[in-house]
């Protein structure tokens, strides 16, 4: 019986995807892999009913400017990850809520977080080793 390595049992993503799928993957990863998108999805997931006001989100996400928060929320809404509701009040109240699609993103993100947690020491060791060689 031929022994196969673990490496051979998982096809590279490039072989699994057609070129148009790879374009979609690249576009998606560029958008949600930015500095703020995933963090905002996680913050919304932690709120009651996965819903929060703009000002609440701004307080939750340290270091994000009002402009960047607006842009990121708009992009997440455009991609269907959250919905936006404006209440006709003075001053206007705007709330954002994760959609079914946004909630479905949490499971794969949890796997990634677990992978990072399980491999973080190895990553740090690899970085230290590389940095010592490069000096």
Residue 16 has pLDDT above 90, yes or no: no
- The set of residues, in sequence order, having a beta carbon less than 8 Å from that of 32 and lying 6+ positions away, is 38, 41, 79, 105
- Reported as a pLDDT band with limits 50, 70 and 90, residue 12 is low
Residue 97, Cβ density class (10 Å: 0-12 exposed, 13-18 middle, ≥19 buried): middle
Question: Please, what CATH class does the domain formed by 10-104 belong to?
Answer: mainly alpha
pLDDT, position 25: 80
Long-range Cβ contacts of 68-72 (<8 Å, 24+ apart): 68/36, 69/36, 69/40, 72/34, 72/36, 72/37, 72/40
Residue 73 has pLDDT above 60, yes or no: yes
Residue with tokens 């996680």: 42
Compute the distance between CA of residue 93 and CA of residue 89 in angstroms, rounded to an integer.
6
Helix (H) or strand (E) holding 69: helix 66-78
Mean of per-residue pLDDT scores for the chain: 86
pLDDT, position 135: 78
Instruction: Give me the mean pLDDT over the 96-118 stretch.
Output: 91
pLDDT, position 6: 52
Instruction: Give me the mean pLDDT over the 9-35 stretch.
Output: 72
Residue 22 has pLDDT above 90, yes or no: no
Q: How many CB atoms lie within 10 A of CB 126?
A: 11
Its pTM stands at 0.74
Residue 53 has pLDDT above 90, yes or no: yes
pLDDT, position 74: 96
């Amino acid at each position: 019986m031929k022994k196969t390595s673990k490496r051979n049992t998982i096809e590279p993503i490039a072989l699994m995807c057609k070129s148009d799928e790879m374009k979609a993957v690249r576009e998606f990863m560029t958008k949600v892999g930015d500095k703020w998108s995933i963090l905002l999805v996680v913050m919304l997931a932690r709120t009651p009913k996965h819903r929060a006001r703009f000002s609440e989100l701004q307080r939750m996400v340290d270091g994000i400017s009002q402009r960047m928060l607006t842009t990121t929320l708009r992009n997440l809404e455009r991609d269907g990850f959250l919905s936006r509701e404006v209440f006709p009040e003075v001053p206007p109240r705007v709330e954002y809520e994760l959609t079914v699609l946004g909630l479905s993103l949490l499971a794969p993100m949890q796997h990634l977080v677990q992978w990072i947690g399980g491999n973080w020491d190895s990553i740090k060791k690899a970085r230290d080793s590389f940095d010592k060689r490069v000096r």
